Structure 1
């Protein structure tokens, strides 16, 4: 069962994917995220990069709709989302799917493919998902960049995502990964 802290963080994460802010996740939200990356990075729709991003987000939506949309209305409500996340986090058969999904999204957002996220890449994630402005992104990035080198390694990112999902410690750094949740 999700803890209260997990519910708060996962609700905030839900809101980051609810791009049109209508209270449900729909395929159109995922399409808007893909288009946000294309516009921001000037990626054309016929490019391999666009196809990869579009395919990855499309598959993620398809899987989410199949597993979380329990009333089959082609939308995922917050309650459906939280129930799905609870299942993923507490079902040993889920085989850490949430971590594999996070790894895919981290790879997509590592636009320069150097195996790290820069502050600029982090700011763009904030902008596209609407979780905060550049000032908040820079403030949080500095807290997550443990060695102060201006980059967050994929390994550190994965550990931060694990903190975000699993930690019930309100001080865990990963809680801030997608912005402030309170």
Structure 2
């Protein structure tokens, strides 16, 4: 999955912004910050279900994933954070990515082990990717892109487990 336009690597937020300007980028990471409500009509529900099935997560985890109502994105320094919002108050998941270097984080499927994740800047948004080893070794790639003049956040997710992958747009 790629964003339209060039991808740029950065060593600092200031360096990131300078590289974005050089690349002709229209979106800064800070432009994505805020609360974003999920649009159930515009979301690819079937693709999301295929991704959840591919992950082979528990029924309770699937039910919780289906209850995601939106995202809260924050940008502080080099850190790009995504907080998943649900109607279940005790389900609090925030993933923090560094725009300058790889980070180690919990696996999104909550299985034992860790994932290594990266984030990058593109002309229209931010991409993140994470990979993990067995059990169910795989990876995901997500593009957080502003549409409709910045009023809509579109998230394209591709998850791969083994040789099979599923893509969804929310």
TM-score normalized by the length of structure 2 = 0.27
Greater fraction strand = 2
TM (norm. structure 1) is 0.25
